[in-house]
Amino acid sequence: MYKIIKAKKLVEGIYLMEVCAERIAKTCLPGQFIIAKIDERGERIPLTICDYDAEQGTVTIVFQVVGASTLRMAGLKEGDYFRDFTGPLGCPSEFVGEELSELKKKRMLFVAGGVGTAPVYPQVKWLKQRGIEADVIIGAKTKELLILEEEFREVAGNLYITTDDGSYQRKGMVTQVIEDLIEKEGKKYDICVAIGPMIMMKFVCLLTKKYELKTIVSLNPIMVDGTGMCGACRVTVGGRTRFACVEGPEFDGYEVDFDEAMRRQGQYKAEEATAMEKHKCKIGRG
């Protein structure tokens, strides 16, 4: 059993939880994920790690309510428990394996969209702890849906925020900010890491390819089982079939077939809608 020591609603539909998981906290690295299971009959839910504290033995997750299981998870409170909390799973971000002296020479740009802001945070924090300051762009639909702003201000070299409706700071998509930084401000980068909705990552890659800026993306949005057994996370990368949960979740963005990945991402929508209705009915009867 894994105790929840902090449960917080960040914005509408997005929640943060800090969980006691000592072994995971001591071994995980940025880019990896866990599988949470509420009880013995609950669904396995893969979630990227937002933060971890090896000394305190805690792991922080951030999730968005997208179906019956995450809706149920959102109802958990401080003092409740997860039946299973398994990890770390997946491959760490590739830069954690680089020589620090070489890594410090690189100019890095991170692009985060929506709930994808959460898995970007441990990467930028990891770099900051090693004396490397990266630029970060965060995109959200509105100011009310922006998460982790204060946390990023403590670890980012420069933080740029944009909202679709212009309700906070810049107005427009993250791609416009990338273009402005490179074209108008003369910024030069060696690598870009983009994590967020599939459509966002696709258009970031289309833009950065124009600048020959290597771009890494995370395919965690298509993971279901988290072990490679269900096959739901298979995607074509560089003309080959790859499994996001065991070979990723991060890949070279230029090689990802995003259109195929987005089709696969939507294949369970009917089942999710049915499960959500059943869950709401149970709540109504209670």
pLDDT digits (tens, 9 = 90+) for 214-262: 999 998 866 666 666 666 778 899 999 998 888 889 999 999 999 988 8
On whether residue 228 sits in a domain, the answer given is: no
* Domain limit, last residue, from 159, 190, 218: 218
CA-wise closest residue to 66 among 115, 7, 118: 115
Instruction: State the residue range of the domain holding 80.
Output: 2-89
On whether residue 27 sits in a domain, the answer given is: yes
d(CA 234, CA 253): 15
On whether residue 278 sits in a domain, the answer given is: no
Beta strands in 105-229 (DSSP E): 108-113, 135-140, 158-163, 170-171, 191-195, 214-218
On whether residue 65 sits in a domain, the answer given is: yes
On whether residue 254 sits in a domain, the answer given is: no
On whether residue 211 sits in a domain, the answer given is: yes
Residues near 124 by Cβ (< 8 Å), separated by ≥ 6?
A: 110, 134, 136, 152, 155, 156
* Domain limit, last residue, from 218, 237, 269: 218
pLDDT at 123: 98
Q: Looking at the structure, do residues 125 and 77 belong to the same domain, yes or no? A: no
On whether residue 252 sits in a domain, the answer given is: no
Q: Looking at the structure, do residues 207 and 149 belong to the same domain, yes or no? A: yes
Contact call for residues 84 and 45 (beta carbons, < 8 A): no
Task: Please state the pTM of the whole predicted model.
Answer: 0.90
User: Residue for token digits 């390819």?
Assistant: 209
CATH number at residue 210: 3.40.50.80
pLDDT tens-digit profile of 91-145? 999 999 999 999 999 999 999 999 999 999 999 999 999 999 999 999 999 999 9
Q: Looking at the structure, do residues 81 and 106 belong to the same domain, yes or no? A: no
pLDDT at 148: 98
pLDDT tens-digit profile of 22-75? 999 999 999 999 999 999 888 889 999 999 999 999 999 999 998 889 999 999
Q: Looking at the structure, do residues 109 and 192 belong to the same domain, yes or no? A: yes
How many structural domains does the chain have? 2
* Domain limit, last residue, from 23, 58, 89: 89
On whether residue 116 sits in a domain, the answer given is: yes
Q: Looking at the structure, do residues 107 and 198 belong to the same domain, yes or no? A: yes
